[in-house]
Structure 1
Amino acid sequence: MNQKVVCFGEIMLRLSPVGYQRFTQAHSFDVVYGGGEANVAVSLANYGIPVEYVTRLPKNEIGDACIMSLRQFGVGTSQIVRGGDRMGIYFLEMGTMQRSSKVIYDRAGSSISSIEPGMIDWNKVFDGATWFHWTGITPAISKGLAEVCLEAVKIAKAKGLTVSCDLNYRAKLWKWGKTAQEVMPELVSYADVSIGNEEDAEKVFGIHAPGADITSGKVDGDMYRAVAEALVAKFPNLQQVAITLRGSLSASHNTWSGLLYDRQNVYLAPIHQITHIVDRVGGGDSFGAGLIYGLLTYQNDPQKTLNFAVAASCLKHSIFGDVNLVSVAEVEQLMKGDASGRVSR
């Protein structure tokens, strides 16, 4: 497949108490690496899509270990910039049943937060690429990152790349002086594809689905057609708007589906019952990666594209860690309706 995707953003060291222990019980932590755009890159590499991941990491052994973890999944790392003092960390306490998961960030002063325009040669990075992916987490981290992200999307569009954005609103991160409502509109104006969950458009742009109640455990996809249409009206450049639809019955039991709007039609995916969640972190990223794969592979079949994205992200909930380590064949098996989980011999 003659396609190359570039993903840009922060990757962090994730530390989690073993199993479902609380922070106050922990005597050891499981270590993985993850971040919104890096998670997308790993999924795409698993699907056979050439992918380059761009970030800034400290020039020390922790940065080296992170790069090695990306390489083991087949992600390109040649454009990673080295510098700064530290890698960002986040602590994750895994919730279960009626107890929610908790995240504590320790990412202030990370290497990528001090990045400035001109540090990345975007013309070189985008050489031979056809797609650029970023998320709303990136410009939230610092003024410099917001400026570098704007630099990237402008060059990507000038070079004819398709640009996708996962809105990914994180209220805790917008602390550098401007709000998401001030920064995101200009950045999203360069996007061809918008990805988000049922709350992102409301938190960032004030666009909400009338009558929606995600805490009821039921999410009606038809309610979100208005959200997709409003996003396209606000950003006429958008060619596709995708929305994940999660109904939360408990921390262990969710329903999972999605919506895709292509400026003409709305497509809804089947609803999957996820009755035992192993790890929900990265669920939205795995949806985004599945959507990108589908748009590149099933170019004339929006329904199949959406079904692949939803099935892939459904499977992610069965995998510990941030990244989705499933194959195309496994996703397509679930798309066909085989959710039996029978042993493959």
Structure 2
Amino acid sequence: MTQQTDVVVVGGGQAGLAAGYHLRRQGGLDFTVLDAEAAPGGSWQHMWDSLHLFSPAEHSSLPGRLMPAQAGETYPDAVHVVNYLTDYEKRYGLPVQRGTRVDAVRRDAGRLLIETDSGTWRARAVISATGTWSRPFLPAVPGREEFTGRQLHTVNYRWPTDFAGQRVIVVGGGNSGAQIAADLALDGRIEVTWVTQRPPRFLPDDIDGRALFDVATARRRALDAGHTDTGGVGSLGDIVAVPPVRAARDAGLLAARPMFARLAADGVRWADGSAVGADAVIWCTGFRPALSHLAPLDLRGPRGRIPTDGTRVLGEPQLHLLGYGDWTGPASATLIGVGRTARDAVREVTGLLT
């Protein structure tokens, strides 16, 4: 039997919870949140053991509820974030249906039909908030199939003890690459080679997520007003110097090498003929938006991205995309940034349906 509701939110991580908060606060619409995870916390429950936020707790909060400080930590760890999201969901009584994977969204006589692995929903509007964690990106590097060691992505990394006594290549010049390279290098039992596409750019040590959010917001406002693009966060650097990264950098353990030309059976090779042996390669090469459930709507533009005005999809006004990065709102892939974008999305949905 098909269940009926006004709004379906796809995804119960930080973006989905922010949307649920504003739907609850706005009132007047029935809604449900469908989440594929078996437990609360979104992608935070799958992060590596040493990961910490870039900002203090009070600057890493969803709307309506400050994140409490974590004892002994300036920057909370991922477990603290999961506990916060779990409490947040319970505090606001958000109707999250867990263990429900959305397979497809289709048009159906003026409504949207949401097909899941446990039944079908029919809604007047959909807010897609599935994030990117479930869609890791691996570059097409020559020889990747030849390498006989272990290959894994950021999503599969947990702790350095898995690599004790091994030679590890870490690929990627962003925050994940720097943090995982630092985590491994500081262990002392691992031979780490950090490889980046361009020389790594560390932000000043006093810059954290608070300043990054302000810069991203100012950039979006300037662009909306027709001013020249200042480059936003990207103009400052690529890597936040959180304490472990700073410690590894200052100890000389984060000297990056340029990107290699290919993988071989026993390691990596550069164009000049130099080589490094490896037992494992960790690809910290980013993610793509997890939007395969929207494929039946045929919304992608010429470059593969779904065109939007803010969060509203131009080809389907009953659909909003939330939390996929600056594309769908300044800093909307962050805890502190998604609240404002979620508020605007819910206002638009409410205006459309009431």
TM-score by length of 1: 0.27
Larger radius of gyration: 2
